[in-house]
Structure 1
Amino acid sequence: MKKYFILALFIFIVISYIFYKKEDKNKELFASYYFWENSYKTEIKNEKLYIKVLDIYYSNQLEIIKTNFATKPPKEFIPVIYITNKTMQNINYKTLSQNILRDLKSFDFNFNELQIDCDWSDSSRDNYFLFLNELKNSLNITFSSTIRLHQIKYFKKTGVPPVDYGVLMYYNMSNLGDFDTKNYILDNSEAKKYHYNFDKYPLRLKLALPLYSQAVQFRDKKAINLFENISSKDFKNENFIKIEENRYKTLSSHYFKGKYIYKDDIFRLEEPKEDELKTALKDFKELSKNSFNEVIFYTIKYKLKYNLEKILGE
């Protein structure tokens, strides 16, 4: 009798798990947004926001730039701290943690979750992971860390950050300054090179997708400038000629967006399209069996340029 009871219980657990996973998979996706400006001036309502509150750099010394909150942020927003890899290579984790705790206390808001954005490397990994543990133990709140595609494919080498969940930054996945790069912001064919080990990766993941555009200026095949918030419309005049997909050649020297450019300069336009974003989302959903039903878009500044319902819809 006991044997049958155990068997029945096992079957019940299996069926319940399958039903749960199916139900979880069919949950409607919802959008949230990064706010990445250095000043929060306009009140944003009815949106879940991840607001960058600190920019942390290292040149000859530690530099921390605080976001100016001219307007109070939403009560339920999630603060994000951006830290350069160079900082983690040069500043001891305890020193960095103490500085951050001091600056977080100076803000006039409360929070129960914090996200750290840092593209750590082999040389900074140990210090970064110790830093995460130190800060998490000090604050005793939910923690997340941004993750890059290569850090999933090679997670046994890169390590897994000691946080509650990860946010996969599904963009900026190749070499920005390489003349032969097709699209630095989003290239689904490039992303497929990293579609490994999602089934083994121990952190539950949220997905972050790009809503911004830019153009990289090349001279003699060397990247010399980056222009933000650029579209194909900016190249549809007598000063440019389209030479291939997303590539434009300058026909005459002139001022462009406040900068002087020269004849024969080449521009690589990087402007993610809705179908490309939809493909990226589809690929992620098929890869990650341990993901949230939330997509974080970078950034809310360009929200109205895209039909997000189309991107998130089946």
Structure 2
Amino acid sequence: MKKVLILLSFIFLIVSILFIIKNEKSQDLTISFYSWENSFNQKEITEKLYIKVLDIAYSTKLEIIKSNLQEKPKDFIPVVYITNETMQNVDFSLISNAIIQGLKNYEFKELQIDCDWSNSTQSNYFKLLEDLKTKLNKTLSATIRLHQIKYYTKTGVPNVDYGVLMYYNMSNITDINTKNSILDNDIAKKYHYNFENYKLKLKLALPLYSQAIQFRENKALSIFEGVEKNDFDANFIEISPNLYKVLNSTYFKGRYIYKDDVFRFEDVKKEDLKIALEDFMNLTKNRFDEIIFYTLKYKNKFDLENLIKGKI
């Protein structure tokens, strides 16, 4: 009997230690936010911020949109968004010069580049990153998608100081049959490969936003960000979970929509965020203990401090 009690006490001690270690690990996680608006005017910001300062696109020429930062938080990290079409059509040196010119009015120690590169643009994009790293002599990070880890031998690993895994936008947003293009943990699990072989140290980015995708004759037309479920009023009928059909042509969020248009409502549940976070923590040991939430405007959607501690 005495031996049994000693054994039970030992088991209880081990379980308690493991619980404390896990809880301390969660408490060590820090929270930061993206700001992705084309303007920024918030004062007295205490959160660590990654602020989009440049949008770089290409139609018939290089197009650069600068964000209007009326307020500049101390020590924020500027982010530059570049379309893959730009990397397909413009030499890296021209893009690099445009970025450096666009950053002239900012004081920063670190820069982040956001581009979902493809096999055809890999060489040009990686040269851009190397050129920026050399000329700026700053800490440089790049956003990474799940498929770029699973297939890293084909997609390559950018030569930057660290990566940010964008754990959202992982499904085909234009397919009406997609369940939730923002965050679908079942889809994410299909890409849970090669994390142990991926050499780039990672931070994790998770979504907080909601949206609705407008379809007409099964073709995606528009994205309405910030839509809530109760926005689908008497002008809509729910035809299947999260799919709403327009009953009468009307205005919706300031835009005219037509009868028989279909909207897919997409949102992020805190339970799904917890699963995504736990999956990431279990997948990779080569990581930072920082979670970047997209975006700052939705920071009060959940109690994020308790969410990252597992207290949902």
TM-score (norm: length of structure 1): 0.89
1:215 & 1:61 partners in 2: Cα distance? 31
Distance 1:23 1:200 in 2: 27
Query: 2:176 maps to which residue?
Result: 179
Query: Would you say 1:241 and 2:237 are equivalent positions?
Result: yes
The 3 A distance-change label for structure 1 pair 25 and 313 is closer
SS of residue paired to 1:283: helix
**Distance apart, 1:26 and its partner CA:** 5.6
Aligned to 1:18: none
1:281 has 2:277 as partner: yes
1:254: Cα distance to partner?
A: 1.7
Q: Percent identity?
A: 60
Which residue in 2 is equivalent to 1:60? 60
Question: Which residue of structure 2 aligns with residue 228 of structure 1?
Answer: 225
What's the counterpart of residue 83 of structure 1? 82
2:287 and 2:86 map into 1 onto residues whose CA distance is 30
What's the offset of the Cα at 1:100? 1.5
Cross-structure match for 2:100: 101
Asked if residue 40 in structure 1 is aligned to residue 40 in structure 2, the reply is: yes
- CA drift of 1:289 comes to 1.2
Aligned pair count?
290
1:307 alignment partner AA: D
Written as runs of structure 1 = structure 2, the 5 A alignment for 1:71-220 is 71=71, 73-105=72-104, 107=105, 109-220=106-217
Q: Which runs of 5+ in 2 are unaligned?
A: 1-20
304-313 vs 80-89, which moves further: 304-313
CA distance in 2, matches of 1:124, 1:24: 42
Q: Cα offset for 1:44? A: 4.4
Q: Structure 1 residue 263: deviation in Å?
A: 2.3
> Contact 1:27 / 1:293 at 8 angstroms: preserved in 2?
no
- Structure 1 residue 102: deviation in Å? 1.7
Given that 1:274 and 1:307 are in contact with CA atoms closer than 8 Å, whether structure 2 keeps it comes out as no
Could you say what the CA RMSD is over the residues aligned between the two structures, in angstroms?
A: 1.7
Kept after mapping to 2: 8 A contact 1:52/1:67: yes
Moved beyond 6 Å, runs of 4+: 21-24
Q: CA deviation at 1:27?
A: 5.4
**What stretches of structure 1 of length at least 5 have no aligned partner?**
1-20
* Secondary structure, counterpart of 1:194 in structure 2: coil
Deviation at 1:113, TM superposition (A): 0.6
Provide closer, same or farther for how the CA distance between residues 176 and 26 of structure 1 changes in structure 2, counting only shifts above 3 A: closer
1:65 to partner: Cα distance = 1.1
Structure 1 position 46, deviation (Å):
1.0
Shift of 1:309: 2.3
Q: Which deviations, in whole Å up to 9, do the C-alpha atoms of 1:198-218 show, x marking residues without a partner? A: 111001100001111110011
Question: Is the aligned partner of 1:258 residue 2:263?
Answer: no
Q: For 2:195, what is the secondary structure of its paired residue?
A: coil
**2:260 aligned counterpart, secondary structure:** coil
Contact map agreement 1:58 1:84 (CA 8 A) in 2: yes
Deviations 1:101-130 (A, max 9, x none): 12211x1x3111110000000111001001
| TM-superposed deviation, 1:25 | 4.7
| Residues 86, 103 of structure 1: alpha-carbon distance in 2 compared, 3 angstrom cutoff | same
Q: Distance in 1 between matches of 2:99 and 2:37?
A: 19
- Whole-Å Cα distance in 2 between the matches of residues 164 and 273 of structure 1? 32
Once residues 39 and 217 of structure 1 are traced to their aligned partners in structure 2, the CA distance between those partners, rounded to angstroms, is 26
SS at structure 1 position matched to 2:194: coil
What secondary structure sits across from 2:299 in the alignment? Answer: helix
For 1:228 and 1:101, the matched residues in 2 are separated by 31
- More deviation, 139-148/300-309: 300-309
| Secondary structure of 1:32 counterpart | strand
Shift in Å, 1:244: 2.1
TM-score by length of 2: 0.89
Deviation string for 1:136-174 (max 9, x for gaps)?
011111110000000000000000001010000000001
Tell me how far apart the structure 2 counterparts of residues 249 and 65 of structure 1 sit (CA, whole Å): 35
- 1-side partners of 2:44 and 2:152: how far apart? 37
In structure 1, C-alpha distance between the alignment counterparts of 2:255 and 2:65, rounded to whole Å: 27
What amino acid is aligned across from residue 91 of structure 2 in structure 1? N
Letter in 1 for 2:238: K
